[in-house]
């Protein structure tokens, strides 16, 4: 049984597509199915050269010298660039999205394994790789900070000695909530439960790695950069600021992108090097990293060591929650998040429950690991927040010997409490949480599952049922509060209706598989009545789209979706004035029905949007103040985030002899407001659930004490396949956002945020008869087995 119902029927276009919201096949599919996608590595420009990056084998080492002569002598090699070359151009260091700096190529020392040391440009990718072998770097290895917990020890080596006056590895301390009020609530509580909870380092690992093709035209001075970016406009501005290139002469093109998940938000040294390479050689230069480079050097995710405490009455009313976080940011603070939020939106950790007091503090440190931290569909660290609250609530349920569903139902926010201000200052827009939870429990057959579990336990079989109820905050964000490197997080949208009534809509956001070419056409169709097949969505090219901050943090529908709806409404208003002129009546006499303005009381007299489009471009005399043509432009500055939420239930079977976990069922009920294209929304949820299963059970970037990356290939960094993923069971409830023009809340990351806790809670529930209350991800067979034996080890480091 499924609780998913199709949206009410809307009129169909001649091609059979809904003129508005509803299921339709994706417009972008045909080119991909024919093998005609256009990804960065598919680009082949005349005279194009190939770049390859030499990377450090050490996690921390001083560079004494770099000898590139043998590499330069290899036939087919055009240039070898080192940090010294870049230093001469003032480009050896670049700013990160967190106002830190990052080496483009190392000059003084290397600070993580896989760091960029030199860049070879050659006639082919094979020759470029051959040349890397010929570069001789003389390193002096240094002591390594491989464990965040030791980063602030008095004898820890200082990683960032490039920063003047830096004598330790501390980055920042940050706090949210009311500490005193929280402590008072804890002091007065009947029950307090505390747990150390690790969200280990993982990697988004999109199937397409990162890369770019740079072409600096030596004649015009125009730089064209085809690159794997989720934020083409923001990247353009950063290149202008970093390299001093005139912004009007930079065109960033983000063609088809093979998955992003946050991995393609930052600017990587490789992109900059392809630009420098093109400037140096006067030719287009392609740089595509391989998989190991992707896993070892580009934006990782999480790495949060959390100590969470929850206080409650003895009958399970939650009173307060506090979390201490030690955040491992790697060697450079390269997290991508709004400036005022160094720990992202982590302080939404209070979750979906009603209680008055909460407090968190986050201490961030440098380690000898790759930079990054905000990535992998995390909604700016809401993954960590949702995981910690849902895990600690389950720990409380275990302490109280209460059913975790009952404990949640007792504490969930009530519909009448919205808009609700959380103890850490977020204003949740709308929600009917209990309804969503009941739908999920009904779909799962929760009571029967508990009965089955009891019977199985009596027979010595270990099944577990895990629940997660999450609240997300997406669609960043209000410009006043949210910017990245000083760029406010508002997004533009342009709409042009051509004389024949066909339209082009230009977006600032960029799809990496989310189906924007379909969804945004449907939004415009919904507002204007133009069939979606008649609307072309243009995106991913800074010369041809309005400015905006791009696609991540589930912000496309909440921000640009709103912009698309509003720009269409603006066109509709203009169409009314033109229709009034054509029909020789007052605009106030007209009424709108989908695709047409008509005279009130005389529906036979009207003009379709297509007729109005021709009128707008034709000889019709337009009223004073009405310009010709039918187009409009908006910039949408969201008044608040939107707050999608959901309830997930996972059922697992655990073999206590081997620790093997089998995910038997997964029920996901999401409330993301109205669904523009339910098929696309469901696809987004499926993908996020697979991420959750992957992180909970297998994905991990661990390090050894020399700082070697132990997850540097797909042999070691395990991703879920069709065998680990169950047949997802989806449901929905619909609670619109009151402040979004079409009520939509965004959904891209909901499942990645909400699902890991459901899987982990299920596994812990299964093995709780062995006295286990918590075990850290990933719950590999070995880690589950150790937990059952009562001898867990750190999952994030391997020490000899």
Partner 1 sequence: MQVTVTVNGQEVTRDVEPRTLLVHFIRDDLLMRGTHWGCDTSNCGACTVWVDDEPVKSCTYLAVQADGKSITTVEGLEKNGELDPIQKGFMECHGLQCGYCTPGMMMVGRALLDKNPHPSEAEIREGISGNICRCTGYKNIVASIQWAAEHPVSTEASEVTA
Q: Which residue's CB is nearer to partner 1, number 209 or number 333?
A: 209
The least distance separating ligand FES from the CB of residue 32, rounded to whole angstroms, comes to 8
**Residue 125 interacting partner from partner 1, ligand FES, none (CB closer than 5 to 8 Å by kind):** partner 1
Question: Residue 560 in contact with residue 744, Cβ under 8 Å?
Answer: no
Residue number, nearest CB to ligand FES: 207
Window 214-253: contact mask with ligand FES (x via CB under 6 A): ----------------------------------------
Sign of CA dihedral 549, 551, 554, 558: positive
715 binds ligand FES (CB under 6 A): no
> How many alpha carbons fall within 13 Å on the CB side of residue 70?
10
Host H or E run for residue 272: helix 269-281
282 binds, among ligand FES, partner 1, none (CB under 5 to 8 A by kind): none
Q: To the nearest whole angstrom, how small is the minimum distance from the Cβ of residue 17 to ligand FES?
A: 22
Q: Which region, judged by CB under 8 A, interacts with partner 1, from 87-95, 110-118, 250-258, 297-305?
A: 250-258
Residue 543 is given by DSSP the state T
Tell me: does residue 447 bind partner 1 (CB under 8 A).
no
Rounded Cα–Cα distance for residues 499 and 628 (Å): 11
Q: Is 269 in the site for ligand FES (CB under 6 A)?
A: no
Kindly state whether residue 16 participates in binding partner 1, applying the rule CB under 8 A.
no
Assess 683 for contact with ligand FES (CB under 6 A): no
Segment near partner 1 (CB under 8 A), from 66-74, 257-265, 396-404, 577-585? 257-265
Nearer to ligand FES among residue 257 and residue 578 (C-beta): 257
SS3 524: helix
220 binds, among ligand FES, partner 1, none (CB under 5 to 8 A by kind): none
Find out whether 650 and 764 touch, Cβ atoms under 8 Å: no
- The partner in contact with residue 721, picked from ligand FES, partner 1, none with C-beta cut-offs of 5 to 8 angstroms by kind, is partner 1
728 binds, among partner 1, ligand FES, none (CB under 5 to 8 A by kind): partner 1
Q: Which of 13, 17, 22, 26 binds partner 1 (CB under 8 A)?
A: 26
Q: Which residue has the tokens 């209000």?
A: 478
Nearer to ligand FES, 207 or 219 (CB): 207
When asked if residue 1 is in the footprint of partner 1 (CB under 8 A), the reply is no
- Report, in Å, the least distance between residue 276 CB and partner 1: 24
Which residue in 123, 168, 175, 290 binds partner 1 (CB under 8 A)?
290
Sorted by sequence, the CB contacts under 8 Å of residue 361 that are 6+ apart come out as 173, 174, 175, 324, 325
- Interface with ligand FES, residue 33, by CB under 6 A: no
Which of 11, 16, 36, 218: binder of partner 1 (CB under 8 A)? 36
- The bridge status of strand 136-141 relative to strand 285-288 is unpaired
Any contact of residue 209 with partner 1 (CB under 8 A)?
Answer: yes
Q: Which of 599, 634, 612, 637 is nearest to 503 (CA)?
A: 612
- Asked if 143 and 92 count as a contact pair (C-beta separation under 8 A), the reply is no
Residue 211 within binding range of ligand FES, rule CB under 6 A: no
Which positions from 92 through 131 interact with partner 1, judged by CB under 8 A? 125-126
SS3 484: strand
Smallest separation (angstroms) from partner 1 to the CB of 82: 25
Quote the CA–CA distance of 444 and 800 in Å, as a whole number.
Answer: 44
Binding site partner of 29, from partner 1, ligand FES, none, Cβ cut-off 5-8 A by kind: partner 1
* Beta carbons of 3 and 518 less than 8 angstroms apart: no
Q: Which residues pair with 193 in a beta bridge?
A: 310
| Residue recorded with tokens 């992707």 | 294
Residues in the chain: 800
**Alpha-carbon distance 152 to 363, whole Å?**
10
Task: Dump the DSSP string for 671-698.
Answer: E-SS-SSHHHHHHHHHHHHHHHHHHHHT
- H helices present in 401-495, as ranges: 404-411, 433-444, 446-458
Compute the radius of gyration of the chain from its Cα atoms.
27
Q: Do residues 242 and 315 touch, judged by C-beta distance below 8 A?
A: no
Query: DSSP letter string over 162-182?
Result: TSTT--S-EEEEEEEE-HHHH
Q: Most distant CA pair in the chain: distance in Å?
A: 86
Give least dist CB 313 to partner 1, A. 39
CA distance 739 to 748: 19
- Our CB check for partner 1 shows the closer of 539 and 740 to be 539
Query: Using CB under 6 A as the criterion, what x/- string covers residues 157-196 for binding ligand FES?
Result: ----------------------------------------
Phi, psi of 790 (to 5 degrees): 75, 20
Q: Binds 37, which of ligand FES, partner 1, none (CB < 5 to 8 A, cut-off by type)?
A: partner 1
CB contact set of 550 (below 8 Å; sequence gap of 6+): 229, 230, 231, 232, 233, 234, 265, 508, 509, 510
**Residue 725 interface partner, choices partner 1, ligand FES, none, CB cut-off 5-8 Å depending on type:** partner 1
Among residues 1, 33, 207, 458, which is the contact residue for ligand FES, using CB under 6 A? 207
Under 8 Å between Cβ of 210 and 405: no
| 513 near ligand FES, rule: CB under 6 A | yes
Q: From the CB of residue 416, how many other CB atoms can be counted at a distance below 10 Å?
A: 7
Phi, psi torsion values for 38, nearest 5 degrees: -130, 85
- Which residues ranging from 523 to 552 are in contact with partner 1 (CB under 8 A)? none
Among 142, 156, 257, 275, binds partner 1 (CB under 8 A): 257
Of 409 and 719, the one with the shorter C-beta distance to partner 1 is 719
Selected range binding partner 1 among 112-120, 237-245, 509-517, 595-603, rule: CB under 8 A: 509-517
Stretch that binds partner 1, among 102-110, 236-244, 267-275, 682-690 (CB under 8 A): 682-690
Helices and strands per DSSP (H, E), number in the chain: 18, 36
Residues 699-738 interacting with partner 1 (rule: CB under 8 A)? 713-715, 719, 721-723, 725, 727-728
Residue 245 CB, nearest approach to partner 1 (Å): 29
Question: Which window, 161-169, 275-283, 428-436, 676-684, contacts partner 1 (CB under 8 A)?
Answer: 676-684
- 33 near partner 1, judged by CB under 8 A: yes
Residue 258: CB minimum distance to ligand FES, A: 6
Residue 755 C-beta: closest distance to ligand FES, Å: 18
Give residues 584-623 in contact with partner 1 (rule: CB under 8 A). Answer: none
Contacts of 495 (CB under 8 A, 6+ apart): 503, 504, 505, 506, 524, 564, 567, 568, 570, 571, 631, 632, 633
Residue from 157, 255, 258, 445 touching partner 1 (CB under 8 A): that is: 258
Residue 569 CB neighbours (<10 A): 16
Q: Which residues bind partner 1 (CB under 8 A)?
A: 25-26, 28-39, 41-42, 44, 125-126, 204-209, 256-259, 261, 290-292, 512-515, 679-680, 682-691, 713-715, 719, 721-723, 725, 727-728
Q: Which residues bind ligand FES (CB under 6 A)?
A: 207, 259, 513
């Amino acid at each position: 049984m499924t609780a998913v119902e199709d949206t009410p029927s809307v009129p169909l276009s001649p091609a059979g597509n809904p003129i508005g919201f509803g299921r339709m096949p994706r417009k972008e599919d045909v080119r991909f199915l024919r093998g005609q996608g256009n990804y960065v590595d598919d680009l082949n420009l005349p005279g194009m050269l190939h770049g390859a990056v030499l990377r450090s084998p050490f996690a921390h080492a001083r560079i004494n010298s770099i000898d590139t002569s043998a590499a330069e002598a290899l036939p087919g090699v055009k240039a070898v660039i080192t940090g010294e070359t870049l230093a001469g151009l003032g480009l050896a260091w670049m700013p990160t999205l967190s106002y830190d700096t990052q080496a483009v190529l190392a000059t003084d020392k290397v600070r993580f394994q896989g760091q960029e040391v030199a860049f070879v440009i050659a006639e082919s990718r094979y020759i470029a790789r051959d040349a890397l072998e010929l570069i001789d770097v003389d390193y002096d290895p240094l002591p390594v900070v491989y464990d965040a917990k030791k980063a602030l020890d008095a004898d820890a080596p200082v990683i960032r000695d490039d920063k003047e006056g830096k004598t330790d590895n501390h980055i920042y301390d940050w706090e949210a909530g009311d500490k005193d009020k929280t402590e008072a609530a804890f002091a007065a509580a009947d029950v307090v439960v505390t747990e150390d909870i690790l969200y280990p380092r993982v990697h988004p690992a999109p199937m397409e790695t990162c890369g770019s093709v740079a072409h600096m035209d030596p004649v015009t001075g125009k730089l064209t950069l085809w690159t794997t970016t989720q934020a083409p406009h923001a990247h353009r501005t950063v290149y202008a600021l970093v390299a001093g290139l005139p912004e009007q002469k930079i065109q960033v093109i983000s063609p088809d992108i093979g998955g992003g998940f946050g991995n393609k938000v930052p600017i990587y040294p490789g992109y900059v090097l392809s630009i420098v390479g093109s400037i140096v050689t006067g030719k287009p230069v392609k740089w595509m990293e391989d998989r190991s480079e992707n896993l070892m050097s580009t934006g990782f995710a999480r790495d949060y060591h959390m100590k969470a405490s929850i206080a409650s009455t003895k009958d399970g009313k939650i009173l307060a929650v506090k979390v201490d976080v030690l955040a491992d940011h790697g060697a450079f603070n390269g997290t991508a998040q709004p400036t005022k939020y160094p720990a992202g939106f982590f302080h939404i950790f209070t979750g979906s429950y009603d209680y008055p007091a909460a407090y968190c503090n986050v201490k961030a440190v440098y380690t000898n690991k790759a930079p990054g931290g905000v990535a992998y569909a995390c909604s700016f660290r809401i993954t960590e927040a949702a995981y910690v609250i849902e895990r600690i609530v389950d720990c409380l349920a275990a302490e109280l010997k209460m059913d975790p569903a009952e404990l949640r139902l007792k504490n969930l926010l009530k519909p009448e409490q919205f808009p609700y201000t959380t103890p850490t200052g977020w204003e949740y827009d709308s929600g009917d949480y209990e309804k969503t939870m009941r739908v999920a429990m009904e779909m799962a057959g929760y009571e029967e599952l508990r009965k089955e579990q009891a019977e199985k336990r009596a027979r010595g079989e270990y099944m577990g049922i895990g629940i997660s109820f999450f609240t997300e905050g997406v669609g960043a964000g209000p410009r006043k509060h949210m910017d990245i490197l000083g760029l406010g997080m508002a997004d533009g949208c342009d709409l042009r209706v051509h004389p024949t009534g066909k339209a082009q809509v230009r977006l600032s956001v960029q799809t990496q598989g989310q189906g924007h070419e379909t969804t945004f056409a449907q939004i415009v169709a919904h507002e204007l009545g133009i069939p979606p097949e008649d609307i072309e969505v243009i995106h991913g090219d800074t010369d041809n789209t309005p400015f905006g901050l791009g696609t991540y943090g589930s912000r496309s529908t909440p921000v640009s979706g709103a912009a698309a709806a509003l720009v269409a409404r603006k066109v509709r208003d203009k169409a009314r004035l033109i229709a009034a002129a054509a029909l020789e009546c007052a605009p106030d006499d007209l009424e709108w029905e989908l695709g047409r303005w008509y005279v009130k009381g005389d529906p036979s007299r009207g003009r379709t949007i297509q007729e109005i489009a021709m009128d707008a471009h034709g000889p019709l005399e337009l009223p004073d103040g009405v310009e010709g043509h039918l187009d409009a432009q908006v910039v949408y500055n969201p008044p608040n985030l939107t707050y999608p939420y959901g309830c997930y239930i996972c059922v697992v079977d655990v073999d206590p002899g081997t620790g093997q976990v089998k995910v038997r069922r997964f029920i996901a009920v999401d409330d993301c407001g109205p669904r523009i294209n339910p098929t696309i929304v469901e696809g987004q949820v499926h993908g996020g659930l697979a991420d959750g299963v992957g992180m909970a059970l297998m994905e991990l970037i661990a390090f050894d004490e020399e700082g070697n990356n132990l997850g540097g290939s797909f042999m070691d960094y395990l991703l879920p396949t069709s065998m680990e993923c169950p047949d997802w069971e989806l449901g929905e409830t619909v609670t619109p956002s009151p402040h979004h023009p079409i009520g939509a809340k965004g959904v891209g990351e909901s499942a990645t945020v909400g699902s890991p806790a459901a899987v982990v809670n299920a596994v812990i529930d299964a093995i709780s008869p062995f006295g286990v209350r918590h075990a850290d991800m990933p719950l590999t067979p070995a880690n589950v087995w150790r937990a059952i034996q009562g001898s867990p080890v750190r999952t994030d480091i391997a020490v000899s």
